[in-house]
Amino acid sequence: MASRSHDTSRLDNTLAVIRSLRDKGPVARVDLGTLNGISSATVTSISADLLQQGLISERPPDMPRPNERGRPKTLIQLAPEAACVICIKLSINELQLVVGDYAGQITHSEHHSIDTLGLSQEALVTLLKDKTAAVCDLALTRHRRLAGICLAVQGVVSSHSGTLIWSPALSFRNAPLAALLEAHFDCPVLLENDANCIASVLATQPAYADHPNLVVIMLGYGIGMSVLIDGKPFLGANGSAAEFGHSKYQPGGALCACGKRGCIEAYISDYALYRQASEVIELPAGDSAHPSESQMQALTQLALQGQPEAQRIFAEAGRALGYGLGNLLTLFNPDLVLITGSGVRGYPAMHDAMQTAIDEALVPELVGSTRIASCPWDRDMTCLGGIAMTLQATDQQILAG
Amino acid sequence: MASRSHDTSRLDNTLAVIRSLRDKGPVARVDLGTLNGISSATVTSISADLLQQGLISERPPDMPRPNERGRPKTLIQLAPEAACVICIKLSINELQLVVGDYAGQITHSEHHSIDTLGLSQEALVTLLKDKTAAVCDLALTRHRRLAGICLAVQGVVSSHSGTLIWSPALSFRNAPLAALLEAHFDCPVLLENDANCIASVLATQPAYADHPNLVVIMLGYGIGMSVLIDGKPFLGANGSAAEFGHSKYQPGGALCACGKRGCIEAYISDYALYRQASEVIELPAGDSAHPSESQMQALTQLALQGQPEAQRIFAEAGRALGYGLGNLLTLFNPDLVLITGSGVRGYPAMHDAMQTAIDEALVPELVGSTRIASCPWDRDMTCLGGIAMTLQATDQQILAG
DNA sequence: ATATTTATTTTAGCGACTAAATTAAATGTC
DNA sequence: GACATTTAATTTAGTCGCTAAAATAAATAT
């Protein structure tokens, strides 16, 4: 209801400049002006402030002179050392810690194998504190300050309250992890869903930049989803992300890790595929309830190479996926659906059945113009997104000094 | 990407003042200041402009003097005659035309019985033009200008493009109705989904004002839905509203009016209930594919009074509704779901089965704190919402003169 | 050496806001 | 009934942030 009390355009424009620099790398003042719809006089004024604060630096353009007349551009760029953020990615049996600089680039990354399901809440918090403190010490030798920490987890989180509601990687629920970490580090701690992190990265990529309403589906051990509306993650009432994996495919159907029956996840997640396959095919030994990357690789290979039982299982998964996407298109009507995650390796074996299921479920008028595509998977993407979100969230504080 | 090029706060604040006056009725300048977070000096300046344009008027407070000291407030109010909008509600076999004044109040309303399904696109457009022109002549005797026209229809519309994609009231599809009407009236024409209109009204009601993420489900001949995110209707990529009624309950299930099988609408809409009931119960004669209000009243009475077959049918509808709501909660996670529409009369007979279905489908953690409630139905509500949306959309033009 | 081109900075001025001072219009008090 | 008090609305003075235009800077072209 209440609009802002006075002109906030200086702050808005300053943040816009910082974000342009982060997205595009070094840019000249004129270009920052046209990019953000402000005069270059204003950019001069803003960049003078930022230079004085040590948040940006000037540098000559890369190319010596590509044959153009006129005064050469002076590029300005974010000073990487001005701040850093730490992103902690928590997934099943693995912890990844990454340091990002003020420009959003990864400057350090480490992986730890952890029995996440065996941890109590206290043990997890202690572990996170210790690992983070060590990384923080390292990071502060190269950066002026720690701007924020992002905990990116698979599962359902309430970002507003910083509470982890449920994660397949953990055996406890409803943990106020952000507050517990904030108590030990003198900076904001964000708790984010991993799919939202990835979606935030994809949305900035030029290939998808013209699709402001974007849905990202992550296939893997669980099924993640993120919905971006006008480029911003859609969070429900309590700040928890939309949970595509637990929308229903078959009332009373297959058992899901969440305890209910018929969830889409119970048909297309790694554990669901492996569970079905291990009943009918000879597969590498291992914990079939938590199949490893190599176990899944083996199974996927069979399906892609035409093993009939495996093909059938992946086709059924494709049907469930298509059915769920049908509901998703009906309800959200996005421009683009991107399917990614480690499970995207099996997507070719699901594709045809998926498309058939969508065609069965929807009249063409309702499908609208939504494009469905897959997208290769990179294990650092989550942390890149977490870094981007954390910087975005803390830019104003960094600016304030 | 591009932020505004310079300070737009005067326009923003002026619009905020106008909207406050429309929402709250006459308000004093001081109160407009605190309400919108601006100084009263600014309100003085803004209201002087508006007075000069004849968009507002001053008046002494209602109560002569309730025993307070100090200079009495001078209330300012929107001048009803400053402009008007026309809202045309198109539903199955009925056309309603309503005139709203600049303050958002209904000043004229008329209903016409029309065989909507028998109309060609040309016939409909001619009809709309004629009826609207007549109402417009009347309205312009009392208002300085026609600010806009809103066509509120049941069905799927693309608001951005002003195209009607599909409506149960019409036998043709993909009609650019907004453009066709705009060609004959010298004002903007909005095409809106009826559920979005209603949701916009409900969202401003004090009882629901603290639920910015609101889902409204309309039960009736068809099933409508509107999702408000931060108080604004969520439109998908092409501007068409989310279609709850055509999300799926049973793959390959009952036949829906859209031509596909298993849609929720095929279980809980008026025609679905009546179709099932007429097979097993003796019911008033009539077109069972398009049951009238009185036919539905009769059927609903049976269910509410305990007739076993009717009860069973409504309970099954409740199950389908609950199942659909489960997916909705999983995906949108709203603060509040309001169930309304003419079909809400049968809600008590659906409620228990609905609740059971939700409990079966969702783990409590995922349900979050969403409240589900029903809400009495008023046939003028759609037009009130259409008027409000049209005024909101045209306020800036009215201001420009 | 000078003209041209393009980038950046400086200057001058404008629009919009706020805080504080002033004016307006009541009620209370003695 | 005169004067103090209270609250509302307006006026005044001053600040902030932006832009357009002018000035300056730094290159290439002739």
Of residues A35, A36, A332, nearest to B236 (C-beta): A332
| Gap from B36 CA to C20 C1', Å | 21
Measured in angstroms, the CA of A77 and the nearest CA of chain B are apart by: 18
Q: Do A243 and B331 touch (CB under 8 A)?
A: yes
In angstroms, rounded to a whole number, what is the distance separating the alpha carbons of residues A106 and A122? 29
Record the tokens describing residue A36, joined without a space: 């953000």
What are the boundaries of each domain within chain B? 2-78, 82-199+381-399, 208-374
As a rounded value in angstroms, the CA-to-C1' distance for A10 and D11 is: 28
Q: Would the pLDDT of A368 be above 90? A: no
Chain segment B124-176, per-residue pLDDT in tens: 999 999 999 999 999 999 999 999 999 999 988 999 999 998 898 999 999 99
Please state, in angstroms and rounded to a whole number, the distance separating the CA atoms of residues A174 and A180: 12
Q: Please, which pLDDT band fits residue B373 given cuts at 50, 70 and 90?
A: very high
- Side-chain-facing half-sphere of A281: CA atoms under 13 Å: 22
What tokens were used for B253?
Answer: 């299930």
- Which tens digits make up the pLDDT trace of A50-106? 999 999 999 987 776 667 888 999 999 999 999 999 999 999 899 999 999 999 999
A149 bridge partner residues: A86, A189
Q: Which fold has domain A2-78?
A: Arc Repressor Mutant, subunit A (1.10.10)
User: Which residue of chain A has the CA closest to B23?
Assistant: A1
For A259, the closest chain B residue by CA position comes to B363
Burial of B213 (0-12, 13-18, 19+ CB in 10 A): buried
Percent of chain B past pLDDT 90, that is, above it, reads: 67
Q: Which nucleotides of D are covered by protein (CB under 7 A)?
A: 5-12, 16-21, 25-29
**Rounded-to-integer distance, Cα A9 and Cα B9, Å:** 9
- Indicate the DSSP class of residue B258: T
In the predicted model, what is the mean pLDDT of residues B81-99? 96
Residue of A nearest to B370 (CA): A237
Does pLDDT of A131 surpass 50?
A: yes
B361 and A248 in contact by Cβ < 8 A? yes
Cβ contact A165–B236 (<8 Å): no
For residue A351 the two structure tokens come to 């594709």
User: What pLDDT does residue B84 have?
Assistant: 98
Given this model, what pLDDT does residue A3 score? 38
How large a percentage of chain A has pLDDT more than 90? 68
Split at pLDDT 50, 70, 90, the class of B1 is very low
Q: Report long-range pairs for A289-297 (Cβ below 8 Å, ≥24 apart).
A: A290/A92, A290/A93, A290/A221, A291/A221, A293/A342, A296/A270, A296/A342, A296/A343, A296/A345, A296/A346, A297/A345
Helix (H), strand (E) counts: chain A: 13, 15
Dihedral, A194, A197, A198, A201 alpha carbons, nearest 10: -170
Looking across all nucleic acid strands, the nucleotide with the smallest C1' to CA distance from residue A11 is: D17
Contacts with B8 (C-beta within 8 Å, 6 or more apart), sequence order:
none
User: Which one-letter amino acid corresponds to residue B114?
Assistant: I
3-state secondary structure of A280: helix
Separation in Å: D6 C1' and B67 CA: 12
| Length A327 CA → C19 C1' (Å) | 56
pLDDT score at B207: 86
Among candidate residues B36, B250, B240, B275, the one with its CA nearest the CA of residue B156: B240
- Cβ atoms of A338 and A227 closer than 8 Å: no
Residue A235 with chain B: CB contacts under 8 Å:
333
Taking the C1' atom of every nucleotide in all shown strands and the CA of B7, the nearest one is D18
Q: Let me know if the fold of B2-78 is the same as that of B208-374.
A: no
Q: What is the DSSP string of A191-226?
A: EEEHHHHHHHHHHHSGGGTT-SSEEEEE-SSS-EEE
Label residue B5 by pLDDT band (50, 70, 90).
Answer: very low
- Mean pLDDT, residues A136-144 taken together: 97
Q: What positions of strand C are covered by protein, i.e. any atom < 7 Å from a CB?
A: 4-11, 15-20, 24-28
Which residues lie closer than 8 Å to B257 by C-beta, 6 or more apart?
B168, B222, B265, B266, B269, B271
User: Is the predicted pLDDT of residue A41 greater than 50, yes or no?
Assistant: yes
CB–CB contact B363 A258 (8 Å):
yes
| Span CA (A358) to C1' (D19), Å | 53
Residue B50, CB, strand C, below 7 Å: no
- How far, CA to CA in Å, does A291 sit from each of A221, A284, A287? 8, 10, 6
Q: Which nucleotide is nearest to A8 (CA to C1')?
A: D17
- Compute the average pLDDT of residues B367-379: 87
Rounded to a whole number of angstroms, the distance between the first and last alpha carbons of chain B is 30
Give CA–CA dist B155/B317, Å, rounded. 21
Judged by CB atoms closer than 8 Å, whether chains meet at B5 and A38 is answered as yes
Is A7's CB less than 7 Å from nucleic acid strand C? yes
Distance, in Å, from the CA atom of A115 to the CA atom of A124, rounded to the nearest integer, reads 10
- Model confidence at A5, pLDDT cuts 50, 70, 90, reads very low
Query: How far apart are the C-alpha atoms of A344 and A339, rounded to whole Å?
Result: 7
End-to-end CA distance of chain A: 30
Query: What phi and psi values does residue B26 have, to the nearest 5 degrees?
Result: -60, 135
Amino acid type, A349: A
Grouping H, G, I as helix, E, B as strand and the rest as coil, residue B200 is: helix
Query: Which amino acid, one-letter code, is at B106?
Result: I
- Give which of A328, A331, A338, A362 to mutate to test B binding, by max B Cβ within 10 Å: A331
What was the pLDDT predicted at B360? 87
Q: Provide, in whole angstroms, the distance separating residue B32's CA from nucleotide D1's C1'.
A: 37
Q: Name the residue among A16, A260, A369 with its Cβ closest to that of B238.
A: A369
Lowest-confidence segment of A367-371, B169-173, B224-228 by average pLDDT? A367-371
Q: What is the pLDDT of residues A330-348, one digit of tens each?
A: 888 888 999 999 999 999 9
CATH architecture of the domain A82-199+381-399 equals 2-Layer Sandwich (3.30)
- CATH assignment of A208-374, among 3.30.420.40, 3.40.50.1820, 1.20.1050.10, 3.40.630.10: 3.30.420.40
CB-CB: which of B236, B260, B330 is closest to A246? B330
- For the cut 80, the answer to whether the pLDDT of residue B241 exceeds it is no
Question: CA–CA separation, B277 vs A183, rounded Å?
Answer: 62
Which H or E run includes B56?
A: strand B56-59
- Between A272 and B283, name the one with better pLDDT: A272
Mutation target vs B (from A333, A337, A371, A372; most B CBs, 10 A cutoff): A333
Interface contact flag, B9 A6, Cβ < 8 Å: yes
What gap in Å lies between CA A218 and CA A377, rounded to an integer?
9
| pTM (two decimals) | 0.88
Please give the pLDDT value at position B282: 81
pLDDT at B26: 97
Provide the H-helix boundaries in A229-346.
265-268, 270-280, 293-305, 308-332
Mean pLDDT of chain B: 91
Interface contacts A/B by beta carbons within 8 Å: 176
* Cβ contact, residue pair B251, A323, below 8 Å: yes
CA of B5 to C1' of C3 (A): 34
Residue with tokens 């990454």: A98
Beta strand extents in B92-129 (DSSP E only): 94-101, 106-113
